[in-house]
Amino acid sequence: MPKFKTILKKSDFQEGKLMKSEISGKSIVIGMVEDKLYAMDSVCSHEGGPLEEGWLEEHSLTCPWHQGIFDIRSAKASPGTNWVTDMKSYAVVVDEQTGEISVEIS
């Protein structure tokens, strides 16, 4: 059964901005696209670049070190950047009353 951990509030995020969070020992990057939050591993699968320092355009998250591109919705590597491999994405749930966000950590 999936377990969710509440970490931040939706108001902590801005469209197109990235934020890193440590959840149960996992380093995760969270970004907002079209008012929806997405979470995935924050360490690039190529050479360990810090994805929270990258940039997010539409659903494409680009690593700041070697420009590997991932779809933040699925953590899948872009076919155009074949030097990176798919990573793990995490479900994000927003409590509409409190604005608190929870990320699936299982």
Sheet with 26-33: list strands edge to edge: 18-23, 26-33, 36-41, 89-90
Closest CA to 71 of 103, 79, 91: 79
Kindly calculate the radius of gyration of the chain based on its CA atoms and give it in whole angstroms.
13
Q: Look up the domain containing 64 and give its range.
A: 4-104
pLDDT, one tens digit per residue, over 5-61 is: 777 889 999 999 999 998 888 899 999 999 999 999 999 999 889 999 999 999 999
Sequence length of the chain is 106
* pTM confidence score: 0.90
* Total tally of structural domains belonging to the chain: 1
CATH of the domain at 35: 2.102.10.10
